[in-house]
Structure 1
Amino acid sequence: MKNVEPKVPLAVAGSSGFLPGCEGMRGAAALGVLLTHVAFQTGSVTESFWGRVWGRFDLAVALFFALSGFLLWRQHARAARGLSASPSTGRYLRHRIVRIMPAYIVVVCAVLLLLHEARGASATVWWANLTLMQVFVPYSLVEGLTQMWSLSVELAFYLLLPLFGWGLWRLRGEAARWRVPVIVTIAVLSLAWKYIPVPTADGVHHDNWLPGYLSWFAAGMILAEFATAPPPRMVRLARIPMLMPIVAVCAIGIAASPLAGPPGLVDLEPLEYAVKILCGAVMGYALLAPIVLAEPGRHHRILASPTALMLGRWSYALFLWHVAVLMVTFPILGVPQFSGYMFPVLVLTVVLSVAVASVSYALVEEPARRALLRWETARAERYRRQNGNAETATAATVTKASA
């Protein structure tokens, strides 16, 4: 009779806790976004092979979105399987607001007040940018802040995530196996967003709204579901050496081909848009899966290195500041925009952006995080004291009544 080995639940690195590889990947994504903006502003995004490749480094945004989908959805996935408590919506929203808004407001004010190309903006432009509503307000993406459209999309995802969690809450316990199919279905349907004729004002493009990018977030959400209930087949695939990186490179290659439309900032046809978005979702999943579904305790040699972790910590500030820094780089080098010189511009932009990001992190992001932590600690202490006093008073009343 054939011996049957008992099934042992798989353990993966991404089931809970901090993942150094994800932090390093965040830094790599920020550099990818920087590279594609440098390529565009220097006129290096062309019909040539490398021109198309530089242009498709904008898929680094897909990696940002997939990381957000994974990290923010993981507690919902754990709660659905009884592994942790349901996340507090109030606490979640507080942390998201404090995470993004203080540094963002500083950048918007600095750019609109100091950057020559953005000075003199109207009150509407100020309002749209300060509230992250620029993807809905005509012609409010100004020089130095053009990359913020993706942050507007991310904010929309942050606000809707509790609603997604509530919508899938019934799919828990035995029904949790249906969660991934539901998320995949939503992701696939979102690929048709460009086909929907949504009426908008001139200067507003509905393909820059959240529905068009749901599949990028869904890639991370699916990995969050896999991390809390690892499917053996998907774990084995993620752990095959070089398989997922090859898949990611193929996705980038297809996105850089004419199948995903012409290079540069052009309006894509619905099919071209769908191909590009699908490639971004596949790339995001393929790059994160080996980190999330790796053996516990196994860290990526490069992405978990001290340098990568440092860039990961500064990645949000790097994303916020790099376009404004890029605008300043041209006069420093004495070269006009769209005239070439990509690599000198790239090197100087990276150096200056990293320096500014480190200062921004130290002076804005970290103090805001610590202030929130102090407030929450004090709030919890007050709650404990109030409950303790109430319990003491109740016990005294019961004792007196018994006597």
Structure 2
Amino acid sequence: MTTATAPVPAPRAFIPALEGMRGMAALGVLVTHVAFQTGTSGTAVLGPILERFDMAVAVFFALSGFLLWRPHAAAAHGLGRAPRTSRYLLHRVARVMPAYWVVVVFVLVLLPGAAHSANLRVWVSNLFLLQVFVPLTLTDGLTQMWSLSVEMAFYLVLPVLAWLVVRLRGPAARWRVPVLCGLVAVCLTWNLWPIPTPDAIHADNWLPAYLPWFAAGMLLAELIHLVRPEARWARMLSSQPLMWAVALAAFLLSATEFGGPAGLERAQPWQYAMKMVLGMVLGFCLLAPLVLRRAGAPHRWLESRTAALLGRWSYGIFLWHLVVLTVVFPVFGIVPFNGHFLSVITLTTALTLPLAAASFALIEEPARRWAARWDRRTGSARVEQHALRDSAVR
């Protein structure tokens, strides 16, 4: 009798619940910035929890790790082919840069505080996502883009990581998980390395420090090919109550000294490493039940129409919410760092969502369609070239 294996999603199969989770993560980033700029993060008990919603970035990174590593994991297990690097980069640039450039130009031209200090260095650094490498280029309305800079670095490094483990395929594919775990262990020591940096630049904002958060999703991309539903550990990983309880515990622990000090004060190296571990646990545990659950088991909330809309608008929410937040204070006569959390978050959310919807409909989706058309044209041309070469050989 053969042993039944868990149904494995196709390399590019759409998982609706992940879209909903992306929307929740975008709102989490909005919450943490409103909490900080209203001074609510300084209140007892609730403040540290609201501030630690910045761990939503760990969920963003884990989602990217899972979705972008999944085709490579599938290819290693004999299910399809890994994407061409040129095609992959085309779609990443089309997905990220057009909407991002619109926000950068808007801020550096029209937002008073940012426009006043926007010299050539600020323009170049922000247009090309170099803020974490060039001193004093994080700008009002764009300070959250440090994480997008890290994400873009991951996009560029991912093909290299895939090439390094390309020989681990077939029976040897089982070694891919230990290799990823080894990479995580090395990266957790990054904050201890004496990396020379310019003044006002910290290497703990570079990709190696955050690779554990991406690796949470990459590990899931590998595990979906190794899971057998009858195994106890597989049932545990696919149990939403259990995994989300662990995620909640990691989140609450991150709101203590283990997640680092409050505000903008730099964490001790051990605190930074612990925050990376907790973020990895958080991302892994939130996503695991969604990608490992049995086929046909929907998630009522994350696959709802509302969650799907928030997921589609999530990138726009991320891009625009700080611009809106910067404007809300003077327009509505609210003093920053002086409370009014509920008023500010309501106004910021209400004004951000239409901008995010417009960004999706007018910029992001047209850019995605353009990349798809370009990909089809170049793919057809490549097929024709191969056909002509084959006929010449014959």
Common fold: TM-score over 0.5: yes
Q: 1:18 aligns with which of 9, 14, 19?
A: 14
- Mapped contact 2:248–2:282 kept (Cα < 8 A): yes
Measured in 1, the distance between the counterparts of 2:161 and 2:43 equals 40
* Alignment match, 2:224: 227
1:100-120 CA distance string (max 9 Å, x none): 011111110100111112012
In structure 2, the CA distance between the partners of 1:119 and 1:299, relative to structure 1 (3 Å rule), is same
Q: Which residue of 2 aligns with 1:90?
A: 86
Match of 1:68 among 44, 64, 70: 64
- Amino acid of the structure 2 residue aligned with 1:363: L
Correspondence 1:224-373 to 2 at 5 A: 224-231=221-228, 232-373=231-372
Look up the match of 1:105. Answer: 101
Deviation at 1:379, TM superposition (A): 2.5
Structure 2 counterpart of 1:161, one-letter code:
L
Q: Which residue of 1 aligns with 2:27?
A: 31
The 2-side partners of 1:389 and 1:184 are apart by: 46
2:200 matches 1:200: no
Query: Judging changes above 3 Å, is the alpha-carbon distance between structure 1 residues 386 and 272 closer, same or farther for their aligned structure 2 residues?
Result: closer
Q: What is the CA distance between 1:13 and its match in structure 2?
A: 5.2
Residue pair 1:128, 1:140 contacting (<8 A) in 2 also: yes
Question: What code does the residue aligned with 1:86 have?
Answer: A
Amino acid at match of 1:265: L
1:12 to partner: Cα distance: 4.7
How far, CA to CA, are the matches of 1:94 and 1:82 in structure 2? 25
Structure 1 position 42 matched with structure 2 position 41: no
CA change 1:49–1:13 in 2 (3 A) is farther
The Cα offsets for residues 338-387 of structure 1, whole Å up to 9 and x where unpaired, read as: 01001110011111111101111111111111112222222333344555
Computing the radius of gyration from Cα coordinates, the structure with the larger value is: 1
Shift of 1:142: 0.7
- Cα–Cα, structure 1 residues 385 and 197, in superposed 2: closer, same or farther, change >3 Å? closer
Query: How many residues are paired up?
Result: 391
For structure 1, which runs of at least 5 residues remain unmatched after alignment? 399-403
Query: Could you tell me how far apart the structure 2 residues matched to 1:14 and 1:326 are?
Result: 40
**Normalising to structure 1: TM-score of the pair?**
0.93
CA distance in 2, matches of 1:220, 1:284: 7
CA contact 2:238–2:290 (8 Å) conserved in 1 = no
Q: 2: distance between equivalents of 1:113 and 1:284?
A: 36
Asked whether 1:217 is paired with 2:214, we answer: yes
In the aligned structure 1, how far is the partner of 2:9 from the partner of 2:242?
A: 18
Flag the 1:218–1:169 CA change in 2: closer, same or farther, 3 A.
same
Deviation at 1:198, TM superposition (A): 1.3
- Mapping 1:139-218, distance limit 5 Å: 139-218=136-215
Distance 1:234 1:24 in 2: 26
- How far is the alpha carbon of 1:47 from its aligned partner? 5.6
Identify unmatched segments of 5+ residues in structure 2.
none
Q: Residues of 2 paired with 1:106 and 1:284: CA distance?
A: 29
Match of 2:131 in 1: 134
Amino acid across the alignment from 2:49: V
Checking the alignment, whether the CA contact within 8 Å between 1:15 and 1:227 is kept in structure 2 is no
Residue pair 2:87, 2:375 contacting (<8 A) in 1 also: no
Question: 1: distance between equivalents of 2:112 and 2:197?
Answer: 30
Q: Is the 8 A contact 2:187 2:209 kept in 1?
A: yes
Q: Percent identity?
A: 51
Secondary structure in structure 2 of the residue aligned to 1:138: coil
User: Residues 13-61 of structure 1: CA distance to partner in whole angstroms, max 9, x if unpaired?
Assistant: 5765000000100000000001000000101112611110011100000
